[in-house]
């Protein structure tokens, strides 16, 4: 149900004062309804399919690789890489592209960043379309490190063994151990292998049915080396949020339209977070996909995301 493949008609790098270069691209109708696409991870980067959720006749879509991800430079950098920095990059890109307001579309970590951006700049948002909700709470980080393996014990075994454990010692100790490895205390080769294992573990847990191609993509250098380091960095710093920050500030965006698309069998970001958000946001529309897990590539998730964007029109944003 994705729209046909489309090449960007404009691309570039947005230079930031602290040395980061943010890659962006634009597809669709230059006079259409503006949308910003926020990828997951953090660190996953955009892909060709990221462009295909949107009717190219209806939407003007801006996609960016967040700091350290994809084609942005320097690749994998943790320096000056916080949620506030990412929000600043999005705002700078909006101004650079001459956009007053836009629809904010994000999944997984992209949903986290979409909410954080919207709460910081509600006057710049037309609506939200969010998938696989992650609210950046400590309980959700603990689940990633110490919960997903209950459903995927084979994948968890490799995750544990790479960190030198034969059983899960607890989520904080796992974070600490991977911090040592990623810092190079066991050598560069061990750090690279750990990044691939971390990323493959997540990819294995992402889908309702096995998807070896997704796992292979996540293990590749273009994703793994940034995804693992950046996810770990943000987990260590609790996503740079105060406790329960995003739910506590829902009132700042409660007047805006929102669609939440959530896989029933999402092991990476279990549905409880989506329900917590929906319960706090009276005007949001919640769509549970009963035949899907977490990944945006699953047919049911694609179907509902495309439908959500197709339903929006000029009246929605009046």
Cα(200)–Cα(8) distance, integer angstroms: 29
Helices of type H across the chain: 83-96, 109-120, 138-146, 153-162, 171-182, 188-206, 212-219, 221-236, 245-248, 272-280, 299-311
Q: Which domains does the chain have, with CATH numbers?
A: 10-136+241-317 (3.40.50.1820), 139-239 (no CATH)
Query: Phi, psi (5° rounding) for residue 263?
Result: -70, 130
The DSSP string of 268-315 is SS-THHHHHHHHH-TTPEEEEETT--S-TTSHHHHHHHHHHHHH--GG
Is the alpha carbon torsion for 7, 8, 12, 14 positive or negative? negative
266 part of the active site: yes
Cα(92)–Cα(64) distance, integer angstroms: 12
273 part of the active site: no
Given the DSSP bridges, would you call strands 125-131 and 258-263 parallel, antiparallel or unpaired?
parallel
Cα(6)–Cα(32) distance, integer angstroms: 16
Could you say which of 89, 266, 273, 278 is catalytic?
266
- Residue 5's CB is within 10 A of a number of other CB atoms, namely 9
Could you say which of 50, 72, 108, 111 is catalytic?
108
Q: What is the DSSP letter of 73?
A: B
313 part of the active site: no
Closest residue by Cα to residue 7 from 56, 58, 80 = 56
pLDDT digit of tens for each residue in the chain (318 aa)?
899 999 999 999 999 999 999 999 999 999 999 999 999 999 999 999 999 999 999 999 999 999 999 999 999 999 999 999 999 999 999 999 999 999 999 999 999 999 999 999 999 999 999 999 999 999 999 999 999 999 999 999 999 999 999 998 999 999 999 999 999 998 999 999 999 999 999 999 999 999 999 999 999 888 898 999 999 999 999 999 999 999 999 999 999 999 999 999 999 999 999 999 999 999 999 999 999 999 999 999 999 999 999 998 766 654
Residue 244 burial (10 A CB sphere; 0-12, 13-18, 19+): middle
Given the DSSP bridges, would you call strands 59-64 and 21-28 parallel, antiparallel or unpaired?
antiparallel
């Amino acid at each position: 149900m994705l729209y046909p493949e489309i090449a960007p008609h404009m691309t570039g790098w947005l230079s930031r004062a602290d040395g980061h270069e943010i890659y962006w691209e634009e597809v669709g109708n230059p006079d259409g309804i503006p949308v910003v696409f926020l990828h997951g991870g953090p660190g996953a980067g955009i892909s060709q399919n990221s462009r295909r959720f949107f009717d190219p006749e209806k939407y003007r879509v801006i996609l960016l690789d967040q700091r350290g991800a994809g084609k942005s430079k320097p690749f994998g950098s943790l320096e000056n890489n916080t949620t506030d920095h990412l929000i600043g990059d999005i705002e700078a890109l909006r101004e650079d592209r001459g956009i007053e307001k836009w629809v904010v579309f994000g999944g997984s970590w992209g949903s986290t960043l979409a909410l954080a951006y919207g709460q910081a700049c509600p006057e710049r948002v037309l609506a939200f379309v969010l998938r696989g909700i992650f609210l950046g709470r400590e309980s959700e980080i603990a689940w990633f490190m110490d919960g997903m393996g209950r459903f995927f014990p084979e994948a968890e075994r490799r995750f544990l063994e790479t960190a030198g454990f034969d059983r899960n010692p607890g989520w904080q100790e796992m974070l600490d151990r991977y911090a040592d490895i990623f810092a190079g205390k066991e050598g560069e080769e061990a750090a690279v292998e750990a990044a691939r294992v971390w990323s493959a573990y997540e990819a294995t847990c992402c889908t309702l049915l096995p998807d070896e191609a997704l796992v292979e993509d996540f293990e590749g250098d273009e994703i793994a080396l940034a995804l693992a380091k950046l996810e770990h960095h943000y987990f260590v710093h609790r996503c740079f949020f105060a406790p329960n920050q995003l739910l506590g500030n829902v009132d700042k965006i409660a007047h805006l339209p929102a669609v939440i698309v959530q896989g029933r069998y999402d092991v990476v970001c279990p549905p409880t977070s989506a329900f917590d958000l929906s319960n706090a946001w009276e005007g949001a529309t919640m769509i549970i996909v009963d035949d899907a897990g977490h990944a945006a590539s699953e047919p049911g998730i694609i179907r509902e995301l495309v439908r959500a964007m197709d339903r929006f029109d000029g009246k929605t944003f009046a």
